[in-house]
Chains A and B, each alone.
Chain A
Amino acid sequence: MKFLKVIQTGDNMKSMPAIRNAYGLKKAGMLLLGAAFVLSAAAQPRTTVEIRFPDHPVKVDPMIYGQMLENVNDSMIYGGVVDKKGNEQLHVTPLVRDLNIPVMRWPGGTVVYEYRWKNGIGPRALRPTVPTLAWNGEESYQFGTDEFLQWCKRVGTEPYININMGGYNPLYMGTLWEALEWIEYVNGSPESNFGKLRAYNGHEQPYNVKYWCIGNENYLPSRAARIQDPDTVYANRLKIWTTAIKERYPDLRILGVGRSTSWNKTVLETTGKNLHFLTQHYYVNAKLKDGELVNPSSTLFAPAKMEAHLKLLGAQLEEWNRRNGREQDPIRLSIDEWNDRHALYDGNNFKFTRQSPRRQFDVAVAAGMLNAFVRQSPHVGMANYIFPVNAHGLIRTVGTDDAYLTPLYYLFKQYRSRMLGQRLDLVVKGPGLKASEADVSIDGDAIELNPVWGDEHLNFVDAAAVENEGRIVVSLVNRSHNQSQLAELVIPTGYRASEIWELNHQSINARNMPDNRFEITPRSGKLKQNGNKATVRLLPCALAMIELEKIK
């Protein structure tokens, strides 16, 4: 808790001088140690990174650093952001607030197919507790619409609500009237039918929630409360829903479910004019045996496959936006569920779990995903990591009054504060492997690439860059699990090396634990420059973010 108190009072990591890294040295010392490794290592593979300023500047939308909440029965909402009674966990809130999360999706996910928003308003004692089919847990509706929206205000994020819209399932299906009433409850004036009810429940002012998604993975086979929808069926229903919603609420930003290029084509052609986003989901697969990543390239190169898919979808969107006069208000992609899923070997099988804390290799995966979102801007306009607290989380709670940070917490915080502004293009040349050799394993929408993706060369070093208020920020990720990489950045004329921020560990399987919370913590320091170059040595699965400043 001592550590947490520091976080709560200070506003970034630099305010924690007392914290030592894994080697017992202060952070400046660690940088020197890193440099010593460089000197002593044998001939290292070398990667060159060159910056290209694009002709047309492209803005990176901060919403790509969004998060999501879902009651997945793994202490994510209840026992995570709130306690079992739905009361805010005051020790968690400041940690979340400090992330400056741009957008927060809720309440699902798969569980949305059985979500009844009306059960989650009004006096708490009257709210029902029901089993959740999706995750074999229960929903007590104590953290309902008002609680979510109030919590969003307190953590300083923008709410994004997902509406239950499934195929015909009389026991669970969401209905259009229910959706319209929900919007009115959230955004209606206090004189409107449901705005009146909200005011009565203590919230006079409309919340003005802008982002609303209709459906969730409707393409997947029927499971729990979900009924599988063919593309045309989903698209036609979406058209009716979005038409009714836009007619009453023209200012909302509506998200519709995306999938493959052909699914998206159907959705766009049927009801594109009512939409602002197509949602895509990608889940990297990691297999762990005895605490170690198995078949590492499958996991570490997975973001590349997602990116290849995003490119396809982005090109399709660009074409559609042009043909439909939407260049100024384009439909974009929201990767509103993404993550690296861990499956642990139990002696027999690899079993999916949300109880596996994030490790150093997850840093490489998460940074690889974020780099892809940066590069695929502006087509990618939103993304939501699952989840901020517990269950693959950035923050993990301990008992009922304690919590610690995983390395992904530092990573998200760093990206959110630095990797903003205009996207820069990069030319990266260096050692790597063929896409087909990587045997990439990623679930979700990229499956349509299976037969076609494979020949291109994938560098071990993944890089993305932005120009942010006069500074160039370059993010470098080593996707090799066992080889350090030397990355040599050519510094553009008019700039000079400024800072380096690193998140790494000698072991790619290292992690922070309740009893050892500082195994992986970020370090920052001065970036050295050699002529017009800055050279950075990247440990396996390391992330380094370097900054160049304009010479005045």
Chain B
Amino acid sequence: MKRILSLGLLSVLIAGQVSAQSGKARAAKTLVQIEIPSSLAEIDPMIYGQMLENVNDSMIYGGVVNGKGEENLHVTELLKPLDIPVMRWPGGTVIHEYRWRNGIGPKPLRPVSQTYAWKGIENYQFGTDEFLQWCKRIGTVPYINFNMANHIEYGGTLWEALDWIEYVNGDSTTALGKLRAINGHAQPYKVKYWCIGNENYGPWGRHEKETDTGYAKRVSDWSATIKKKYPELSLLVVGRFLNWNKEVLERNGNYIDFLTQHYYVNTKLKDGVLQSATSTLFAPAKMEKHLSMLGAQLEEYNRKLNRANNPIRLSVDEWNNRHAVYDGKDYKFTRQSIRKQFDVAVTAGMLNAFIRQSPHVGMANYIFPVNAHGLIRTVGTDDAYLTPLYYLFQQYRQKMLGVKLDVKVKGPGIPASEANISIAGDADEVVWGDELLTFVDAAAVQNKDGKIYLSLVNRSHDQVQELEFELPAGYAAGERWELSHPDIHAMNTPENRSVILPKSIAWKTRGRKASISLLPCAVVMLELVKTN
């Protein structure tokens, strides 16, 4: 890697001829240029994280476990190969009413309660020990979210949080560590990531809207107390807009490690067809602009707080493409809409943004791995199949690691202001100018072994994009991995599970030049292998 660095600017071609003429028949060509940046930013694998929440859509119960909280073994086997780096739990909005104490000890004794947030049931059969044991079995790092709601009946308290940490991490001489040991788990779990609150700026679930200063003050009681008692923990607190984050950073800068951000792309489907396609497909760009604003702010605080070597970062710990399906009258949000080819483009666009916004983005958690927008969908009680997003996450998790490379993309696109982007969550404060958003979105990394991976996404819903480029000196074409389908609405279903599958082929070059075409909403990942 250092050898590559010494080359200085690595300029890889790609000259395309940009046609002045646009049109379906003959799309203009896109030029992509990869550069080694002057300072190398490491990509944190945690950006490929996932989250579990009992959202009443067979996510936990009926997803990773059955109704009795017993592991769905056929699902576990599918999760293992995803090598998920981090897993957030138990929420989400439902956290505002979550009582960890109900989810430990003998299972028949655990209470059953209604969930206000999602109008379902929480029977606490999948509790703290079950979650943490499950994390071990699928090989992921657990990340626990505290209830810090302000609801007079359901709100969580700091003492409750401290008890939870002791239960999870305390050795068996501590009061609650002893309880954990009695419950069958002598060894502390050493959970590092703990988040305080969830979207406290909003009136959702068992929580009333809090002001930035209100939350910042309240959370400082928590973050200071927890960090002083457990300095080894990595604390996450709720982020939102620039002003909110400023208030939080001012009062918590010495104690926290992440600000959490949530982004939900909105999709409207009518008769199975994506409506206002650019609204959805270009949504990651708006999130990215917001992340770059927040990242710049963090950089300044990290400098001010003398935390350059231990920076506060962003955790995009809820993100997704939400489908709203037209029911003849309204578009209704549902978690039962299976992931389609266009979701591949959205998801890859989000992941590319996280890569480009590294190292400010240090974690991200897709909701959810199983069912309910999931990568995996269960069928009955003993069967499951994979959506295209499963393949996408697996590929990114394996390949898109290492240091980030800069990629310059020139080609056809649309002005941001015309994309009419729809993304709910923290990006609302972004004001667009007239920047051009190219149809082709690209991100590139260099692995530890020197390989370069270039991920290319076609954000056009109806135009094939043509690219031409040239391999850098010392590199040869490796594998070409592709996840595409001629129909952007295609999906895998229980009956037909192989409609969208990744294809890996060797790609061809003409000398050092290559050209590639991207179907609408296709993702192509090119591998460049060192020749020397």
Contact = CB atoms under 8 A, between A and B. Distances in A.
A272 B9 CA distance: 78
B186 to A, nearest CB: 14
Interface string B224-249: 01000000000000000000000000
Contacts of A175: 153, 155, 157
Interface in B118-157: 152-155, 157
Interface string B75-109: 00000000000000000000000010110001011
B8 interface: no
Interface string A227-248: 0000000000100110010000
Given A118-B101, A244-B153, A171 B225 contact: yes
A322 to B, nearest CB: 32
B175 interface: yes
Contact of A196 (B109, B152, B221): B109
A125 B157 CA distance: 25
A172 B155 CA distance: 13
A218 to B, nearest CB: 15
A240 B151 CA distance: 11
Contacts of B516: none
B182 A126 contact: yes
Nearest to B150: A168
Contact of A237 (B109, B152, B155, B225): B152
A128 interface: yes
Contact of B99 (A127, A177, A197, A244): A177
Contacts of A123: 182
Chain B interface, DSSP helix/strand/loop, else mixed:
helix
A200 interface: yes
A454 B155 CA distance: 49
A11 B179 CA distance: 45
B158 interface: yes
A129 to B, nearest CB: 7
Interface string A172-206: 11011100100000000000011011001000000
A177 B153 CA distance: 5
Contacts of A126: 175, 178-179, 182
Interface in A118-175: 118-119, 123, 126-130, 170-173, 175
B111 interface: yes
Nearest to A174: B157
A240 B208 CA distance: 15
A517 interface: no
Contacts of B17: none
B236 to A, nearest CB: 18
B112 interface: yes
Contacts of B153: 175-177, 180, 240, 244
B152 A170 contact: no
Contacts of A237: 152
Contacts of A127: 175
Contacts of B155: 175
A116 interface: yes
A180 B113 CA distance: 13
A123 B106 CA distance: 13
Report, as a range, how many residues of chain A touch the other chain.
20 to 34
Contacts of B101: 118
A240 B152 contact: yes
B157 A128 contact: no
Nearest to A172: B159
Contacts of B222: 170
A244 B153 CA distance: 9
B403 to A, nearest CB: 41
A90 B218 CA distance: 48
B458 to A, nearest CB: 50
Interface string B147-183: 0000011110111001000000000000110110010
B237 to A, nearest CB: 14
A173 B157 contact: yes
Contact of A176 (B112, B152, B159): B152
Nearest to B161: A170
Nearest to A241: B152
Interface string A196-232: 1100100000000000000000000000000000000
A128 B101 CA distance: 15
Given A176-B152, A193-B111, A237-B152, A171 B179 contact: no
A520 B99 CA distance: 55
A171 B159 contact: yes
A229 to B, nearest CB: 14
A175 B152 CA distance: 7
A292 B162 CA distance: 49
A170 B175 contact: no
A240 B222 CA distance: 25
A5 B245 CA distance: 71
A128 B109 contact: no
Given A176-B153, A196-B109, A170 B179 contact: no
9 contacts: A123-B182, A126-B179, A171-B157, A171-B158, A171-B159, A176-B153, A180-B153, A197-B109, A240-B153
Interface of B: 99, 101-102, 106, 108-109, 111-113, 152-155, 157-159, 162, 175-176, 178-179, 182, 218, 221-222, 225
Interface of A: 116, 118-119, 123, 126-130, 170-173, 175-177, 180, 193-194, 196-197, 200, 237, 240-241, 244
Given A173-B159, A176-B153, 10 more contacts: A116-B159, A119-B175, A126-B179, A129-B175, A170-B159, A170-B218, A171-B157, A171-B162, A172-B159, A196-B109
List the 8 closest A-B pairs by CB distance, nearest first.
Answer: A128-B175, A193-B111, A170-B158, A176-B153, A170-B221, A240-B152, A197-B109, A126-B179
